[in-house]
């Protein structure tokens, strides 16, 4: 199973142990839509909250250095976004994640 397949499963199953294993200790998540940045602990806390529900998830590209992922994400507030994500890997873990999001009609 690829890193992104494991990450998607961990998100879906709210598997905190898997998230801790997959994310590098120096992990940084940059959300270009909002300009916010989150740390490893921030992302794990958010993922465990259940606020993020991904649908039509697909891996666009992945190798040992990067992964590109697209999904439609629904949040608890009812907002839906088409999210393109680029993951950078280091030491077999995700060290960086950057996303761009397009709001979708409700």
pLDDT, one tens digit per residue, over 56-106 is 999 999 999 999 999 999 998 989 999 999 999 999 999 999 999 999 987
**What DSSP string describes 60-92?**
EEE-SSEEEEEEEEEETTS-EEEEEEEEEEETT
Taking the whole predicted model, whether its pTM rises above 0.85 is answered as yes
Which residue range forms the structural domain that includes residue 36? 3-104
Q: Tell me the C-alpha to C-alpha distance, in Å, between residue 29 and each of 84, 85, 101, 105.
A: 13, 10, 14, 25
Residue 50 pLDDT > 90, yes or no?
A: no
Closest to 40 in 3D by CA, of 18, 55, 58: 18
| 66 close to 89: Cβ distance less than 8 angstroms | yes
Supply the CATH number for residue 70's domain. 3.10.450.50
| 71 close to 90: Cβ distance less than 8 angstroms | no
| 21 close to 85: Cβ distance less than 8 angstroms | no
The count of domains in the chain is 1
CB-count exposure of residue 30 (10 Å: 0-12, 13-18, 19+): middle
Could you report the per-residue pLDDT of 9-23, keeping only the tens digit for each?
999 999 999 999 999
């Amino acid at each position: 199973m690829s890193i992104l397949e494991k990450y998607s499963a961990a998100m879906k199953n709210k598997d905190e142990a898997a998230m801790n294993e997959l994310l590098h200790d120096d992990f940084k998540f940059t959300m270009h839509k909002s300009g916010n940045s989150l740390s490893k602990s921030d992302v794990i806390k958010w993922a465990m909250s259940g606020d993020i529900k991904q649908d039509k998830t697909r891996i666009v590209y992945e190798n040992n250095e990067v992964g590109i992922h697209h999904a439609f994400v629904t949040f608890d507030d009812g907002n839906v976004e088409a999210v393109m994500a680029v993951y950078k890997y280091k030491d077999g873990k995700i060290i960086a994640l950057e996303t761009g999001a397009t709001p979708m009609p409700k």
